[in-house]
């Protein structure tokens, strides 16, 4: 099996891991080394539907000795299996990185032989990346439950972020659907990672003080920081009966006790036939979305979990976001005067985000804020106006200031604007590396143009046009001139920079080996790559 086939299998198998996240740390480039990370996020490129895809998200292997009911890679499934050798994966990552396709690596794995053996393979890969290639870019590594503490420690010194998947929101559910895993195996590495991060930070803080004693015992070789971007976890939502109340309380306690950076929620995707799984095939993407909104309120909007949800109403309102729901249930706190209200209250107004609240506090020092100023500051005025007064006058004049009246206004889908346009384009589920997303904007024709086009031969030829290749395997089977260079030229990526030199002539071979404009691809990511491929083909 060649590397392209392995990549196709293992990148596709990794799409169920949700980890579109920013790096969370700053690290400058260094002479003689490769790569850097930005705290603002390595994920600055987005696919057409808004998903960030600049991490190479891949499995070390999809061979697995476990049999988790919900997982496509479980040992009882008959699927194509593959495994990377550590050097193959490290070289592939560097190949992608040098061409600006990715800015980091997200590495997960099925359990091959044992958790320790799997982790050793991951460690070898990261060692090649970090020490042989001098790679300083972002790496997110999954810790396999049941791995020995020494190996978790070793892996943590090579990765920027680590995560141990909780998988399911309760130990009973875990026992039902993933009987080979248990609560202890999952929580032990999470606790170890938390303690090691704290210890590492303390040691570095003492070292920075450079007391005489520390100067004497300073280790000669500077070790890498332990998981500098913190740890995260992931839970599957909807495969088991736990309520949102249970899930949010669990998330809040994970943030509190294990200092997690993120809890990811993944709507259950039915990929297996199993009596233990829900009979209903509906994917609860809206529920996943509401949980993320609630999670955001916990982390950035100073909400307590009891303010968002209670035991009597254990599920989040599917029609209303949790912040708007809190606002209409607490109408006695509104309207607030936008020119004088405390920052904490501004944060609670639907339509005002953290950045908006900060901008308001800054701007109102210089002038009185009314509708035009608020719109200029990027406030979603259509939503916020029901809950604010601007210089003494109520901004939502004409609205029914009651629970039912405001609920009807706020539950309506957002039309137009940035949010509305994004919602129109959303594609359900996780994308695989090779999935094609149509990024072209439809051409809007003026009335006259439309009739001329309908009468022309172009319209007839459009209907006869062959479909583009649906899968990478088909894409590879196409003649070279129309094949995707990403899928066809993987072995050549291991060659040094010489393969990136422009060819001297303008022969047709240039179409098969396009000269990449690395600058533009760097800023546009995969969407840029697709546009570049399209332009080369044209
Ligand atoms: S251990 Fe991971 S890869 Fe293996 S079956 Fe369970 S969820 Fe799937």
Angle in degrees, CA 253, 254, 260, rounded to 5: 140
R_g over Cα of the chain:
26
Has this prediction a pTM greater than 0.75?
no
Residues 302 and 352 in one domain: no
Query: Is residue 102 domain-resident?
Result: yes
pLDDT band at residue 479 under the 50/70/90 scheme: very low
Query: Is residue 482 domain-resident?
Result: no
Mutate to test the pocket of ligand 1, among 66, 72, 179, 180 (most ligand atoms within 8 A of CB): 66
Ligand 1 atom nearest residue 110's Cα:
3
pLDDT computed for residue 23 by the predictor = 46
pLDDT digits (tens, 9 = 90+) for 228-249: 888 999 999 988 999 999 999 9
pLDDT computed for residue 375 by the predictor = 92
pLDDT digits (tens, 9 = 90+) for 157-192: 999 889 999 889 998 999 999 999 988 889 999 999
Residues 161 and 255 in one domain: yes
Ligand 1 atom nearest residue 74's Cα:
5
Ranked by mean pLDDT, the top range of 19-28, 210-219, 228-237, 352-361 is 352-361
Ligand 1 atom nearest residue 72's Cα:
8
Residues 296 and 160 in one domain: yes
Strand partners, 333: none
How far does the centroid of ligand 1 lie from the alpha carbon of residue 111, in Å? Answer: 7
Mutate to test the pocket of ligand 1, among 75, 79, 111 (most ligand atoms within 8 A of CB): 111
CA dihedral 309, 311, 313, 314 (to 10 degrees): 80
Residues 255 and 388 in one domain: no
SS3 labels along 298-345: HHHCCCCHHHHCECCECCCCCCCCHHHHHHHHCHHHCCEECCCCCHHH
How far does the centroid of ligand 1 lie from the alpha carbon of residue 122, in Å? Answer: 16
* CB environment 292-325: b (16+ within 10 A), e (fewer): ebbbbbbbebebebebbbeeeeeebbeebbbbbb
**Selected residue with higher pLDDT from 452 and 325:** 325
Residues 84 and 47 in one domain: yes
Nearest residue (CA) to ligand 1, atom 2: 110
Q: Which residue has the tokens 């020092």?
A: 365
Q: Of 61, 54, 64, 45, nearest to 19 (Cα)?
A: 54
CA dist., res. 329 & res. 320, Å (int): 12
The encoded tokens of residue 213 equal 């004693």
Residues 286 and 374 in one domain: no
- Total domain count for the chain? 2
How far does the centroid of ligand 1 lie from the alpha carbon of residue 291, in Å? Answer: 24
Residues 271 and 348 in one domain: no
Domain membership of residue 370 as a residue range: 328-422
pLDDT computed for residue 416 by the predictor = 59
Residues 399 and 285 in one domain: no
Q: Of 401, 400, 379, 404, nearest to 390 (Cα)?
A: 379
pLDDT computed for residue 524 by the predictor = 36
Paired sense of beta strands 393-394 and 388-390, if any: antiparallel
pLDDT for residue 100 is more than 70: yes
pLDDT band at residue 429 under the 50/70/90 scheme: low
How far does the centroid of ligand 1 lie from the alpha carbon of residue 69, in Å? Answer: 9
Q: Of 479, 478, 471, nearest to 435 (Cα)?
A: 471
H helices of 141-237, in order, are 149-156, 171-177, 183-209, 212-217
pLDDT for residue 342 is more than 90: yes
Pocket lining for ligand 1, CB < 6 angstroms: 64, 66, 68, 71, 73-74, 110-111, 178
Nearest residue (CA) to ligand 1, atom 5: 74
DSSP 366-395: TS---HHHHHHTT--HHHHGGGEEETTEET
CA dist., res. 47 & res. 387, Å (int): 35
pLDDT computed for residue 48 by the predictor = 37
Residues 136 and 276 in one domain: yes
How far does the centroid of ligand 1 lie from the alpha carbon of residue 152, in Å? Answer: 18
Which of 308, 341, 360 lies at the terminal end of a domain, its last residue? 308
How far does the centroid of ligand 1 lie from the alpha carbon of residue 167, in Å? Answer: 10
| Residue 98 burial by Cβ neighbours in a 10 Å radius (0-12, 13-18, 19+) | middle
Query: Is residue 175 domain-resident?
Result: yes
Q: In percent, how much of the chain has pLDDT > 70?
A: 67
H-run or E-run covering 531: helix 518-537
Query: Is residue 322 domain-resident?
Result: no
CA dist., res. 466 & res. 471, Å (int): 15
**Selected residue with higher pLDDT from 56 and 151:** 151
Report the CATH number that the domain containing residue 89 is assigned in CATH: 3.20.20.70
How far does the centroid of ligand 1 lie from the alpha carbon of residue 450, in Å? Answer: 53
Mutate to test the pocket of ligand 1, among 68, 144, 182, 236 (most ligand atoms within 8 A of CB): 68
pLDDT for residue 370 is more than 70: yes
Residues 13 and 57 in one domain: yes
- Give the mean model confidence (pLDDT) for residues 295-312: 92
Which of 259, 277, 308 lies at the terminal end of a domain, its last residue? 308
pLDDT computed for residue 122 by the predictor = 95
Query: Is residue 135 domain-resident?
Result: yes
Adjacency order of strands within the sheet including 55-59: 55-59, 104-108, 138-142, 161-163, 231-237, 262-267
SS3 labels along 16-81: HCCCCCCCCCCECCCCCCECCECCCCCCCCECCCCCECCEEEEECECCCCCCCCCCCCCCCCCCCC
CA dist., res. 6 & res. 208, Å (int): 45
How far does the centroid of ligand 1 lie from the alpha carbon of residue 61, in Å? Answer: 11
How far does the centroid of ligand 1 lie from the alpha carbon of residue 66, in Å? Answer: 6
Ligand 1 atom nearest residue 64's Cα:
4
Which of 375, 400, 422 lies at the terminal end of a domain, its last residue? 422
| Number of neighbouring beta carbons within 10 Å of residue 189 | 27
pLDDT band at residue 424 under the 50/70/90 scheme: low
Query: Is residue 492 domain-resident?
Result: no
Mutate to test the pocket of ligand 1, among 15, 107, 110 (most ligand atoms within 8 A of CB): 110
How far does the centroid of ligand 1 lie from the alpha carbon of residue 259, in Å? Answer: 25
Nearest residue (CA) to ligand 1, atom 6: 68
Query: Is residue 443 domain-resident?
Result: no
Residues 392 and 287 in one domain: no
How far does the centroid of ligand 1 lie from the alpha carbon of residue 144, in Å? Answer: 9
The encoded tokens of residue 304 equal 């307590």
pLDDT computed for residue 164 by the predictor = 92
How far does the centroid of ligand 1 lie from the alpha carbon of residue 62, in Å? Answer: 8
Nearest residue (CA) to ligand 1, atom 3: 110
Q: Are 165 and 234 in contact (CB under 8 A)?
A: yes
Mutate to test the pocket of ligand 1, among 174, 178, 276 (most ligand atoms within 8 A of CB): 178
pLDDT digits (tens, 9 = 90+) for 105-145: 889 999 998 999 999 999 999 999 999 999 988 888 999 99
pLDDT band at residue 396 under the 50/70/90 scheme: confident
CA dist., res. 236 & res. 457, Å (int): 51
Q: Are 84 and 60 in contact (CB under 8 A)?
A: yes
Residues 224 and 342 in one domain: no
Query: Is residue 314 domain-resident?
Result: no
């Amino acid at each position: 099996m060649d590397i392209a086939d392995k990549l196709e299998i293992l990148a596709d198998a990794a799409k169920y891991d949700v980890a579109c996240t920013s790096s969370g740390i700053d690290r400058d480039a260094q002479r003689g080394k490769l790569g850097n990370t930005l705290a603002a996020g390595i994920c600055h490129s987005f696919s057409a539907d808004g998903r960030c895809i600049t991490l190479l998200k891949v499995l070390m292997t999809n061979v697995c000795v476990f049999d988790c009911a919900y997982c496509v890679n479980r040992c009882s499934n008959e699927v194509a299996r593959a495994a990377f050798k550590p050097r193959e994966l490290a070289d592939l990552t560097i190949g992608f990185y040098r061409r600006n396709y990715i800015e980091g690596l997200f590495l997960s794995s099925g359990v091959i032989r044992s958790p320790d053996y799997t982790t050793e393979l991951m460690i070898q890969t990261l060692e090649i990346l970090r020490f042989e290639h001098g790679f300083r870019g972002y790496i997110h590594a999954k810790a396999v439950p049941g791995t020995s503490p020494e190996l978790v420690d070793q892996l943590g010194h090579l990765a920027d972020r680590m995560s141990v998947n909780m998988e399911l929101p309760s130990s009973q559910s875990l026992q039902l659907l993933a009987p080979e895993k248990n609560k202890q195996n999952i929580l032990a590495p999470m606790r170890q990672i938390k303690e090691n991060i704290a210890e590492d930070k303390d040691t570095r803080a003492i070292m920075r003080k450079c007391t005489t004693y520390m100067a004497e015992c300073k280790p000669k070789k500077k070790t890498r920081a332990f998981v500098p971007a913190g740890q995260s976890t992931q839970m599957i939502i909807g495969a088991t009966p736990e309520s949102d109340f249970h899930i949010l309380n669990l998330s809040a306690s994970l943030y509190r006790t294990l200092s997690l950076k993120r809890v990811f929620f993944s709507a259950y995707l039915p990929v297996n036939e199993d009596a233990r799984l829900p009979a209903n095939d509906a994917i609860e993407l809206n529920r996943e979305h509401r949980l993320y909104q609630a999670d955001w309120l916990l982390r950035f909007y100073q909400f307590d979990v009891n303010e968002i949800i209670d035991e009597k109403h254990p599920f989040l309102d599917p029609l209303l976001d949790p912040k708007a729901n809190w606002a209409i249930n607490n109408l006695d706190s509104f309207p607030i005067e936008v020119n004088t209200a405390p920052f904490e209250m501004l944060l609670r107004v639907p339509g005002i985000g953290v950045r908006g609240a900060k901008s308001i506090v800054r701007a109102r020092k210089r002038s009185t804020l009314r509708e035009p100023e608020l719109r200029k500051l990027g406030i979603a005025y259509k939503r916020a106006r029901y809950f604010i007064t601007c210089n003494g006058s109520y901004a939502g004049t004409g609205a029914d200031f009651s629970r039912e009246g405001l609920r009807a206004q706020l539950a309506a889908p957002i039309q137009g604007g940035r949010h509305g346009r994004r919602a129109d384009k959303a594609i359900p589920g996780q994308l695989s590396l090779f999935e094609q997303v149509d990024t072209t904007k439809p051409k809007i024709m003026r009335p006259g143009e439309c009739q001329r086009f309908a009468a022309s031969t172009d319209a007839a030829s459009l209907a006869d046009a062959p479909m583009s290749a649906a899968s990478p395997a088909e894409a590879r089977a196409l003649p070279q001139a129309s094949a995707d260079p990403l899928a066809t030229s993987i072995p050549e990526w291991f060659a040094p920079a010489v393969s990136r030199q422009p060819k001297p002539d303008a022969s047709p071979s240039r179409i098969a080996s396009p000269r990449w404009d690395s600058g533009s691809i760097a800023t546009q990511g995969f969407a840029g790559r697709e546009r570049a491929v399209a332009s080369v083909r044209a």
